[in-house]
Amino acid sequence: MLYELPEHLTTPEQKERFIANTVRYNGLPCWCWNREWPHSTRLVHYIGGRNYSARRASYCLFVGRIPDGTVILPACKNPLCVRPSHLVVVPKRETKGWWTGYVSM
């Protein structure tokens, strides 16, 4: 189960901890999630005793609240990317075909 990150966990310490779980490759501007990869393709961030989707956690930590009925997807189409400036809010019903032409790492 993946939960929405509560606001009381969006501290500077948690932001630093989140960034420590990312890595840059080959000069790519993306922040690639590195915590579980390559063991798992799920991007999960453990914080405050719970698992959160790393993309949703990134958005909550660095941007703000995620509107209901939406998903957080990387505009750069890099499946590992959790960089806040690359993340966009997409209504659930408009996600079809999102990963077409994705960037493989």
**Contacting positions for Zn ion (CB under 5 A):** 30, 76, 78, 81, 83, 86
Q: Least distance from C-beta 31 to Zn ion, angstroms?
A: 7
CA distance linking residue 72 with residue 89, whole number of Å: 5
Q: At what angle do helices 12-20 and 54-62 cross, to 10 degrees?
A: 140
Complex with Zn ion: residue 19 or 76, whichever CB lies closer: 76
Q: Which amino acid is at 72?
A: I
| For Zn ion, the closer CB: 3 or 25 | 25
Least distance in angstroms from the C-beta of 102 to Zn ion: 11
